[in-house]
Every structure is written in C-alpha cells, then in structure tokens.
Structure 1
Amino acid sequence: MGSGPAPSRVTAAWATTTLLAAVLLGCGGGVGPSADAPTPAGTPPQRLCADLITHWAGVILDAADGTDAVGLDYQAMGLSGDQYEILRAVLDGARAVRRDEGAPAARAFGAREAVRRCAERYRSGTPTDGPWR
C-alpha cells in the first residue's frame, strides 16, 4: 500500500536521538545559548542539566548494583562529558546515602546535588571548550 519499505527501527531511533540532541544542545545559529538564555524549549541549560542528571541517577539507582543499568554511553544519554562527570559524582554520593538512609533519601539527595552541581557548572555561561563540553 505504501510507496516504499517501512523505515527501519534503527532509522527511527536515530531520528529520535538526533531530534532530542538538537533540542538539548539548543542547535541554532550560534555556539550555544548563554546560561541565562532559554533553550528553544524555554528551559535554561542549568535546568536541563539538572533534569537529565536527576533522571539518569534515578534510573541507575533503581537498577541492581553491579549491572549496566541503561546500556548507554553518556552521549546516548544526552549528556556532555562534564554532565557525565556530574552524574558520576551524584551517583557516588547517592549510593552512600542509599546505604545509610534508603532509596527515597538517595533520590532526594541526587536531585538536590544535581541542581547544585549543574548551577555551578553553568554559572558563567555555557561551555565553549569543545563540542561535548
């Protein structure tokens, strides 16, 4: 009935990933938005960072210890290299909190720490020292 083969899942996944990356990176005319400038979706970069870190920290914390929780590298998660370092630091602290105080406290810690670290990272604008920084 159609005029050609249906798109493969890989093509559809690639298109979705590309669109998500474009939105998250604020693709447009310049190098990137300033820390105070909203992205095309209207969310400042430090908030996007905190939301991404909080999401992935929760996913990884919910997975069993010792397993690859998501099977994705940092770029596939939509993170820059610096954001991935923030995620790793947040997870280190959250795992300690989970051991001592339980999962809900670990998630709350992760969210607070993501907001704090992302605000610090973007306090003087967006990074300009590399394509994934």
Structure 2
Amino acid sequence: MTDGEPSRRRWTLPRRLAPSVARAAVFAAALAALAGCADPGSGTGPRPFPSPRTTPPQELCTRLVTQWAHRLIADGGSGYGDYQSMGLSNGQYEILRTVLDAARAEARDNGPDAARELTERLAERSCTERYRGGVPTEGPWQ
C-alpha cells in the first residue's frame, strides 16, 4: 500500500458475532413473512391472513358423540368417566347415553357394523335437533 492509496481491505464481522447476526436476519425475515410484509421492490402489499374456519356446534357435537360412542362400544361398554372428563356438555352426554343404549341393542341383534352405522345416524340426527335453534342457553354446560 502506498501513500494516498485507499485501503482495499474489507470490513468483516468478528467471528463470534456472525452467528448472532445471521440468526437475527433469519428471525427478521420470518417475522416479516408472518406479518405479511412484502419486499419493498416487489410492488405488492401485505397479504391478508385467511379467515379461520369454525366448526358448527351440531357438527362438533356429532363428532364428539360418535367418537365416544365408538370408543365405549369397542371397550366393551366400560364407563370412561363423567361428561366433563369426556369434554361433553350435559346435553351432549344425554345424547351419548341414548345413542349408546340403541347401539348396544343393535350390536346384539345385527352386529358391530350395524351398530356403528346406527351410532353415526343417531348422533347426527340428535345433535342437529339439539342445535337447530342455535347454541342452547340453559346453562354453561347445557
């Protein structure tokens, strides 16, 4: 290097800082992607998040009652616990008890496949009837 000639040596990060800076850059890029930020030069704006899908109460009731009915019938009818430990409302538990009684009789008379079909039909019909007018408001677990 001579007098008056600028140094051509490039500045670099110290080795111990490089991983931290790299992690920060990855974090910033991920955060920008989640926030919907676009590349300033791309000409696009933020992307909206998709709307969450909610499950209608009658469909949720049907799934829960059917799942528990199949499980209890497969276990030989042994009880699992109270309705709250199953994640059911009192009304859903009443539907489950009705469905189980009918499904057990059907299994004795016509076999497990017929009982399974009956369980699904009765659960869907009963849950649809229960939630036809909206969510029951008799109480917090009704």
TM-score bucket (shorter structure): 0.5 to 0.7
Aligned-pair Cα RMSD in Å: 1.2
- Deviation string 1:39-78 (CA, Å, 9 cap, x unpaired) is x65210000000000000000000124x33x3x3111111
User: TM-score scaled to structure 1, two decimals?
Assistant: 0.65
Select 1:51's aligned residue among 51, 63, 76.
63
Partner of 1:18: none
Aligned equivalents of 1:109 and 1:49: distance in 2?
A: 16
Where in structure 2 are the equivalents of 1:1-133 lying within 5 Å?
Answer: 41-65=53-77, 67-68=78-79, 70=80, 72-133=81-142
Question: Secondary structure at 2:122's aligned position in 1?
Answer: helix
Q: Return structure 1 stretches of 4+ with deviation > 3 angstroms.
A: none
- Deviation string 1:75-131 (CA, Å, 9 cap, x unpaired) is 111100010000000001001100011111101100110000000000001011101
Aligned equivalents of 2:121 and 2:93: distance in 1?
A: 16
Aligned equivalents of 2:56 and 2:135: distance in 1?
A: 10
More contact order relative to length (CA 8 Å, sep ≥ 6): 1
5+ residue gaps, structure 1, are 1-39
User: TM-score scaled to structure 2, two decimals?
Assistant: 0.61
5+ residue gaps, structure 2, are 1-51
Query: Which structure is larger by alpha-carbon Rg, 1 or 2?
Result: 2
Aligned length in residues = 91
